[in-house]
Amino acid sequence: MHVPNADILARVGSDAMGAKLWRFPPGSASTLHRHVSAEEFYFVLEGTGRMRIGEETITVEQHGSVHVPPEPLRQVFNDTDESVLWLMIGAPDNELEPAQGGNREDFYPVDPTQLPKELGP
C-alpha cells in the first residue's frame, strides 16, 4: 500500500478540501476505504485507471474522471503494465481520520490491505 503521492494542497493549508497526486506502479493499490462525510473526485492524468467502488470494478481512461460520494468502499489499483497517475480531490478535508482520533471502523469496515481480485494470486 506504499504508493508514491504528493499532497499538493498541504502548502496552502486548505481545510475545505484536500488534493493529492498518486502514481500507481504496476501491481499496486490504495487501501480499501470509505469516508463518513467527504466526497472524492478522481481524475486520471496518465495511463488507464482501474478502481473498485462497492462491488463494481470500473476502468477510467486517460483524462476521465469519477465522483464517489461518502460511504461506498473504494480502492484504486493498477493491474496494467504501465504506471498510472491520478489526481484525487476530497472535500471536506477536515474529517477526523483514525490517526487523528476518528473511529477506525468508519473508514475501514473491512481489512484495508486486501487487494482486488485483479491483483490476487
- What is the CATH classification number for the domain harbouring 29? 2.60.120.10
In a domain, 40, yes or no: yes
In a domain, 115, yes or no: no
Number of domains, the chain: 1
At 51-73, the pLDDT tens digits run: 999 999 999 999 999 999 999 99
User: What domain range is 22 assigned to?
Assistant: 5-97
At 15-65, the pLDDT tens digits run: 788 899 999 999 999 999 999 889 999 999 999 999 999 999 999 999 999
Q: 50 and 76 in contact (C-beta within 8 Å)?
A: yes
pTM: predicted TM-score of the whole model, two decimal places: 0.87
Residue 9's pLDDT band, with cuts at 50, 70 and 90, is confident
Q: What is the pLDDT of residue 64?
A: 98
In a domain, 113, yes or no: no
Residue 1 has pLDDT above 70, yes or no: no
Question: Average pLDDT, stretch 92-119?
Answer: 82
In a domain, 121, yes or no: no
In a domain, 107, yes or no: no
In a domain, 114, yes or no: no
Per-residue b/e over 73-85, b at no fewer than 16 CB within 10 Å? bbbbbbbbeeebb
For the chain, the distance separating the N- and C-terminal CA atoms, rounded to the nearest angstrom, is 16
Residue 101 has pLDDT above 90, yes or no: no
Q: What is the pLDDT of residue 31?
A: 94
